[in-house]
Amino acid sequence: MPSLGADMEEGTLLEWLVKPGDTVHRGDIVAVVDTSKSAVEVECFDDGVIDALLVDPGQVVPVGAVLARIEGSAAATGPTSTGLHVVSPVTPIAPSPLVRHRAHELGIDLAAVHATGADGVVHRRDIEGLAHAGPARARVSPLARRLAEANGVNLGAVSGTGAGGAIRADDVRQAMAAPATSQASEPTTSGLDADQRAIAMRNSIAALMSRSKREIPHYYLSTTVDLQRTSEWMRERNRELPVGERLVPSAALLLAAARAAREVPELNGHWVDGAFRPAAGVDLGLILSLRSGGLLVPVLAAADTLDVSQVMALMRDLTRRARAGRLRGSELSQPSISVSNLGDQGVESVLGVIYPPQVALIGFGAVIQRPWAVDGLLGVRPLVTVTLAADHRATDAAIGARLLKTIDRILQTPEET
């Protein structure tokens, strides 16, 4: 049973995707497990033939328990306990579609790419680093790596404070000290009591939000942004795009949020041990409401470095898989800042609750056609209310205002994205 979070002690096997006798390869998805936060795919990191499935769907087993036995694996331990016996999210995970796409574009063999995540996932930055300057590997001290593995900390979400951005043990410890974001899972059809799952999810959200409201002195800012230019630009783009790849305004909003977070680093990071620690990059948390209730917060890693098409692709992929209960551990790591986009729910503005230890949450309401004065003339424009909930311990309103202004500016120059 892989550990998929610092606080995870056990997990529920939801579903086997293989059966005894099946040939499996490194990287194959073989099972789905529930971590009380989310259903997560488990990948196999050996080649071989499934000898026996040792855990039945619905069964709860502790982290570290052997889920299945793989015969003929290259592992020196032989057929006794390999394959799925992972105690940390080191299970190699298939690269995201975007990464696969970029690798294809750049002519890079993904199998030869060094993954920078502790979970072995190949990130976009690995690909691009390779394209620019040969193989790149995250600078993580051996101790930090060991700590992260032992405690299920996703190194991809840890910002390094060592030389050259190296992640050191203290960075991991701080990540450990920060509780994981509340990531409720939605019920699946396999085996579990939907009510119990809902209760667990509810409790998790309750605890985290209570803590946020208890500990974080929030301040709120709001502004209205004219989306005319972005909408027009997007409409132009969409004429040329295949129907399935059309852009929606949310993609532009998320990207604007990510770029703005980069420009206002005071809001992009974590409050740990009484101090703000800026994150190295913008890992944008996308707060998703599930139809059945509950929330999931998949992460768009290094979102500020993407273009709008990439954000669109990632957002679509993450959303689809989140709703199917098929997010991977690495996609549920700690964001550096989160976005709540409730426009599709018809909400005008979002006054959010910050996910500790993050220090800011950006809210987007619905894009609504409204009368709006431009250059002294009244017209009808697509408007969106952008809000910021920020931690007053880390910043004051002037910083928050700068973030909103930056979002506005970015959305007025969509061609630059």
Partner 1 sequence: MTPDQARAMLETTLREIVPDADLSTLAPGADLRSTFELDSLDFVELVDKLSTRAGFRIEEDDADGLRSAEAVTQFLVTRSSHVGQQA
Partner 2 sequence: MTKTAAQSATPTTTPTADGARQTTYREALREAHRDALKRDPRVFLMGEDVGRYGGSFAVSLGLLEEFGPERIRDAPLSESAFTGAGIGAALGGMRPIVEIMTVNFSLLALDQILNNAATLLHMSGGQLAVPLVVRMTTGAGRQLAAQHSHSLEGWYAHIPGLRVLAPATIEDARGMLWPALEDPDPVLIFEHGSLYNLAGTLPDGAAEVDISRAAIRRVGSDVTVIAYSGGLGKALAAADLLAADGIQAEVIDLRVLRPLDDDTILGSVRRTHRVVIVDEGWRSGGLSAEIAARIAEQTFYDLDAPIERVCGAEVPIPYAKHMEEAALPQPVDIVAAARRAVAPSG
Stretch that binds partner 1, among 40-48, 154-162, 332-340, 344-352 (CB under 8 A): 344-352
Size of the site for partner 2 (CB under 8 A): 15
Applying CB under 8 A, does 96 fall inside the site for partner 1? no
As a whole number of angstroms, the distance between CA 49 and CA 5 comes to 29
Could you tell which of partner 1, partner 2, none binds residue 132, using a CB distance below 5 to 8 A set by kind? Answer: none
Site string for partner 1, 232-251 (x = CB under 8 A): ---x--xx--xxx-x-xxx-
CB of 164 to partner 2, least distance (A): 6
Which residues are within 8 A (CB) of 172 and not within 5 positions of it... i.e. 6 or more apart? 144, 147, 148, 151, 153, 155, 158
As a whole number of angstroms, the distance between CA 315 and CA 243 comes to 16
C-alpha distances (whole Å) from 224 to each of 61, 90, 201, 366, 411 are: 50, 43, 33, 11, 11
Could you tell which of partner 2, partner 1, none binds residue 319, using a CB distance below 5 to 8 A set by kind? Answer: partner 1
Find the binding residues for partner 1 in span 199-218 (CB under 8 A).
none
Site string for partner 1, 304-343 (x = CB under 8 A): -----------xx--xx----------------------x
Applying CB under 8 A, does 392 fall inside the site for partner 1? no
Could you tell which of partner 1, partner 2, none binds residue 164, using a CB distance below 5 to 8 A set by kind? Answer: partner 2
Site string for partner 2, 167-206 (x = CB under 8 A): -xxx------------------------------------
DSSP summary character for residue 274? T
Asked if 117 contacts 152 with a C-beta cutoff of 8 angstroms, the reply is no
CA-closest candidate to residue 366, choices 387, 339, 386, 348: 348
CB of 136 to partner 2, least distance (A): 17
Torsion sign over Cα 9, 13, 19, 25? negative
**Can you tell me whether residue 373 is helix, strand or coil?**
strand
CA-closest candidate to residue 120, choices 74, 86, 166: 86
Which run of H or E residues covers position 377? strand 377-391
Applying CB under 8 A, does 346 fall inside the site for partner 1? yes
Length of the chain: 417
* Footprint on this chain of partner 1 (rule: CB under 8 A): 235, 238-239, 242-244, 246, 248-250, 291, 315-316, 319-320, 343-346
Which residues contact partner 2 (rule: CB under 8 A)? 141-146, 161-166, 168-170
